[in-house]
Amino acid sequence: MVVDTSALLAVFFNEKFGPWVIDQLQTHASDLSMSTVNYAELLILVRDRQPKAFSEVGEAIQSSSIRLVPPSAHHAEIAASARLRYPLNLGDCFAYALAKEENSPLLTLDRDFRRTDVSPIIPR
């Protein structure tokens, strides 16, 4: 399962769907991946909103079972195509690209992924 930035933000900022995301992460702990583009996006947003939590978030991700995947040229091509087809931002395009490449569902809170051709895991 590919993890989108929005899912981890809900956990780190104690948002409404944070507990649901934690359950999903625990259920799929042996098969989690995340683009390093989304990891950077997560760190930027955490540092912007809660600077003191920056190192804690980095340590939590580094010690988790989430496999961090650097973007390849192929990911960039998939992401560019996605940006032209769907209402996704740059970070979302790389989450999409990783999900496409790995033929994996995408754990997200971003409902825009419902308009794509990946399988989003979104709370109801």
Res. 124: pLDDT tops 90? no
**pLDDT of 36-77, one tens digit each?**
999 999 999 999 999 999 999 999 999 999 999 999 999 999
pTM greater than the 0.85 cutoff: yes
Match domain 2-121 to its CATH number in 3.30.365.10, 3.40.50.300, 3.40.225.10, 3.40.50.1010: 3.40.50.1010
Checking 107-112 for CB contacts under 8 A at 24+ apart, the result is 107/1, 107/2, 107/3, 107/4, 107/7, 107/21, 107/24, 107/25, 107/28, 108/4, 108/6, 108/7, 109/4, 109/6, 109/7, 109/9, 109/10, 109/17, 109/21, 110/4, 110/6, 112/86, 112/87, 112/88
Where do the structural domains in the chain lie, given as residue ranges? 2-121
